[in-house]
Copies of this chain bind each other. A is one copy, B any other.
Amino acid sequence: MNLFGRKQKQTEAHNHIADDLSQKGLRMTPQRLMIVAAVENSTNHISAEEIYEQVIEKYPNVNISTVYRTLDTLAEMRLVTKTDLGDGRVRYHPADKGHHHHLVCRECGAIIDLDEKALTGIQATLLRDYNFIADLRHLGISGKCVKCNRQVVRET
């Protein structure tokens, strides 16, 4: 599936996103085309820097601030998700490729994928008790994995 979950071919995908953009009075530019393609073609989560490097290979005068601005725009339109795993750089992911969360081990850096259903309970709680619509897509939760915890126990 592509970024939009409808068609297979990139050109059609881009036509579709171009539609989405123009519905909001925004425009599809060559820069945005390449940024969208980079996110779409990444197998897993991709960083802004990695997107930037892919883009300037074909279009060397694009600025990285354009990459960030485009990604923010796409995130606002809910076409991509931003995830802060706490390692100092934000990762991007096509929104239709499934949502999930990440358990990040503070010690060894291991990343454990966590199904999004695991948190639907608190999402409901927050809505009911706090009138708050929590956006838990691609949440990064820090902590300690079993392996690292065992090590501490051994040492002590």
Contacts and interface: CB of A to CB of B under 8 A. Distances in A.
Contacts of A130: 103, 112, 114
A141 B101 CA distance: 13
Given A103-B126, A126-B103, A132 B145 contact: yes
Contacts of A135: 106, 141-144
Interface string A140-156: 01111110010000000
Interface string A107-143: 0000010100011011001100111111110010111
A124 B136 CA distance: 18
Copies of the polypeptide in the assembly: 2
Nearest to A126: B103
A132 B122 contact: no
A126 B149 contact: no
A144 B119 contact: no
A112 B133 CA distance: 12
A122 B105 CA distance: 17
A120 B132 CA distance: 18
Contacts of A122: 118-119, 121-122
Contact of A103 (B103, B114, B132): B132
B146 A131 contact: yes
Task: Across the A-B interface, give the 9 residue pairs with the lowest CB-CB distance, nearest first.
Answer: A131-B146, A134-B143, A135-B143, A133-B144, A103-B132, A133-B143, A134-B141, A135-B142, A132-B143
Interface of A: 84, 86, 103, 105-106, 112, 114, 118-119, 121-122, 125-126, 129-136, 139, 141-146, 149
